[in-house]
């Protein structure tokens, strides 16, 4: 008996999209997976429709959006139109739409058992700190939620707070599949003297990297800070490099490939992440790097972000600063000692399996299995 046919739609470069790769890796065990997205076919799929790079998903008809001709704006989008044309005449057992923009296209497909929507953010408030986006784009995103997402047969999203907001505003009941990192078979390393702090990720000003540096230099605790930063903002990265070169406590490293990240981080003691709540999604973030630190068997220090704090406190593998600025982090670091960090690292090791990407991916499999078990249906635009 042939495997059921699953179409996964994502307006991203799938081969570089960690969440999509985890999704595909798990679901191809149960389905013949076909994908729609930018770039070459991801490994292991049965078919792939490549959207031309010259058709970025964000390029909606500006006038149509301003005039609130949202249906026209959606279906005239070149990326959506290209995908719709390329999928003409196909039929699927299930369709999985990644993010709000993909849901309307998914509903337009002939799908025997319906559509699952996986929402990577709380889309209606994604860039609410940008005034033009808030005034002109947000109403269009809200229209997509009201028009398309509410019609999906099942939904998942990345965190509990975001799921609650989708239900409160749109009546959408969403399960949670976090952006957890793959399980790493590692043991906690002995706590060093000085204690080794680490932060990895994008070199962007809004990631509060300067505050982390300031706190590492100001604390009375004996610490050293290692930074592994990707050059998203080269000018800012050079500013960080200058700070590190002038500091006896801070060292800037080249970024490492993601497959090497857990082992690289494992040589440290405490991962640090302070994400200022500049918009709704930052407030409720539960980001990859949080789980990267757990898989590396580190203690974790964060700012008072409610979703991260909830998971951290349940596992007991770190501490929450009382603010997002350097003084708040300094106050927390001042109380660090080897025994406290050792306990965090052991708790991180105890939580690593439950918080792994493999465990989380089972929730997609369960959601799709439930749709397959339900009476068949056909979705339409």
Tell me the per-residue pLDDT of 125-145, one tens digit each, with 9 for 90 and over.
998 989 999 999 999 999 999
Number of domains present in the structure of the chain:
2
Q: How far is CA 139 from CA 32, 67, 124, 133, 349, in A?
A: 36, 11, 8, 9, 44
Q: Do 210 and 301 lie in a common domain?
A: yes
Confidence at residue 206, expressed as pLDDT on a 0 to 100 scale: 87
Q: Are 236 and 203 in contact (CB under 8 A)?
A: yes
Residues of the chain with pLDDT > 70: what percent?
99
Q: Which structural domain, as residue segments, surrounds residue 330?
A: 195-351
Asked if the structure places residue 134 within a domain, the reply is yes
Q: What mean pLDDT do residues 7-34 have?
A: 96
Confidence at residue 381, expressed as pLDDT on a 0 to 100 scale: 42
Q: Do 243 and 295 lie in a common domain?
A: yes
Q: Do 324 and 295 lie in a common domain?
A: yes
**Chain segment 47-80, per-residue pLDDT in tens:** 999 999 999 999 999 999 999 999 999 999 999 9
Residue 269 has pLDDT above 50, yes or no: yes
Quote the CA–CA distance of 70 and 148 in Å, as a whole number.
12
Quote the CA–CA distance of 333 and 137 in Å, as a whole number.
41
Q: Do 99 and 136 lie in a common domain?
A: yes
Asked if the structure places residue 228 within a domain, the reply is yes
Asked if the structure places residue 187 within a domain, the reply is no
Q: Do 47 and 13 lie in a common domain?
A: yes
Alpha-carbon Rg for the chain, nearest whole angstrom, is 22
**Chain segment 146-181, per-residue pLDDT in tens:** 999 999 999 999 999 999 999 999 999 999 999 999
**SS3 letters across the chain:** CCCCEEEEEEEEEHHHCHHHHHHHHHHCCCCEEEEEEECCCCCCCCEEEEECCCCCCCCCCHHHHHCCCHHHHHHCCHHHHHHHHHCCCCEECEEEEECHHHHHHHHCCEECCCEEEEECCCHHHCCCCCHHHHHHHHHHHHHHHHHCHHHCCEEEECCHHHHHHHHHHHCCCEEECCCCCCCCCCCCCCCCCCEEEEEEEECCHHHCHHHHHHHHHHCCCCEEEEEEEECCCHHHHHHHHHHHHCCCCEEEECCCCHHHHHHHHCCCCEEEECCCCCCHHHHCCCCHHHHHHHHCCCEEEECCCHHHHHHHHHHCCEEECCCCCHHHHHHHHHCCCHHHHHHHHHHHHHHCCCCCHHHHHHHHHHHHHHHHHCCCCCCCC
Asked if the structure places residue 188 within a domain, the reply is no
Q: Do 75 and 221 lie in a common domain?
A: no
Average pLDDT value for the chain: 96
Confidence at residue 290, expressed as pLDDT on a 0 to 100 scale: 97
Residue 380 has pLDDT above 60, yes or no: no
pTM as predicted: 0.90
Q: Are 8 and 32 in contact (CB under 8 A)?
A: no
Q: Do 282 and 323 lie in a common domain?
A: yes
Residue 264 has pLDDT above 90, yes or no: yes
Confidence at residue 1, expressed as pLDDT on a 0 to 100 scale: 75
Q: Do 74 and 95 lie in a common domain?
A: yes
Residue 12 sits in a domain whose CATH number is 3.40.50.2000
**Chain segment 196-229, per-residue pLDDT in tens:** 999 999 999 989 999 999 999 999 999 999 999 9
Q: Do 280 and 141 lie in a common domain?
A: no
Confidence at residue 217, expressed as pLDDT on a 0 to 100 scale: 97
Asked if the structure places residue 186 within a domain, the reply is no
For 33, the token pair is 């997976």
Q: Do 92 and 214 lie in a common domain?
A: no
Asked if the structure places residue 210 within a domain, the reply is yes
Asked if the structure places residue 185 within a domain, the reply is no
Confidence at residue 379, expressed as pLDDT on a 0 to 100 scale: 46
- The Cα angle at residue 284 between residues 283 and 286, in degrees rounded to 5: 120
Q: What mean pLDDT do residues 30-41 have?
A: 98
Asked if the structure places residue 378 within a domain, the reply is no
Q: What mean pLDDT do residues 299-326 have?
A: 97
Q: Are 345 and 351 in contact (CB under 8 A)?
A: no
Quote the CA–CA distance of 33 and 278 in Å, as a whole number.
37
**Chain segment 330-357, per-residue pLDDT in tens:** 999 999 999 999 999 999 999 999 999 9
Q: Do 161 and 216 lie in a common domain?
A: no
Q: Do 274 and 258 lie in a common domain?
A: yes
């Amino acid at each position: 008996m042939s495997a059921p046919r699953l179409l996964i739609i994502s307006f991203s470069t799938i081969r570089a999209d960690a969440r999509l790769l985890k999704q595909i890796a798990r679901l191809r065990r149960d389905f013949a997976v076909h994908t729609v997205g930018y770039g070459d076919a991801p490994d292991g799929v049965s078919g792939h429709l490549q959207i031309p790079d010259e058709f970025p998903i964000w390029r909606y008809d500006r006038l149509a959006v301003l005039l609130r001709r949202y249906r026209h704006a959606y279906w005239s989008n070149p990326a959506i139109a290209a995908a719709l044309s390329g999928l003409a005449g196909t039929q699927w057992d299930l369709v999985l739409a990644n993010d709000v923009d993909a849901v309307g296209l998914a509903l337009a497909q002939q799908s025997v058992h319906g559509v699952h929507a996986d929402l990577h953010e709380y889309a209606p408030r994604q860039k609410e700190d940008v005034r033009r986006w808030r005034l002109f784009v947000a109403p269009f995103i809200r229209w997509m939620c009201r028009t398309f997402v509410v019609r999906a047969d099942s939904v998942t999203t990345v965190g509990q707070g975001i799921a609650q907001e989708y239900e409160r505003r749109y009546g959408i009941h969403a399960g949670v599949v976090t952006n957890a990192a793959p399980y790493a078979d590692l043991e906690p390393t002995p706590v060093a003297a000085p204690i080794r702090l680490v932060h990895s990720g994008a070199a962007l000003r809004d990631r509060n990297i300067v505050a982390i540096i300031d706190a590492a230099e100001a604390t009375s605790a004996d610490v050293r800070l290692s930074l592994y930063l990707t050059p998203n903002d080269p000018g800012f990265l050079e500013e960080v490099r200058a700070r590190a070169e002038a500091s006896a406590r801070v060292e800037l490293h080249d970024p490492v490939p993601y497959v090497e990240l857990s082992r690289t981080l494992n040589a440290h003691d405490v991962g640090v992440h302070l994400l200022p709540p500049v918009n709704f999604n930052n407030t409720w973030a539960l980001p990859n790097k949080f789980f990267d630190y757990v898989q590396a068997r580190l203690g974790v220090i964060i700012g008072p972000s409610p979703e991260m704090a909830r998971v951290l406190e349940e596992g007991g593998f770190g501490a929450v600063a009382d603010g997002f600025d350097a003084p708040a982090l300094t106050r927390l670091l001042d109380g660090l000692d080897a025994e406290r960090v050792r306990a965090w690292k052991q708790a991180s090791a105890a939580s690593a399996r439950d918080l792994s990407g493999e465990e989380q991916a089972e929730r997609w499999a369960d959601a799709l299995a439930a749709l397959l078990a339900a009476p068949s249906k056909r979705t339409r635009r």
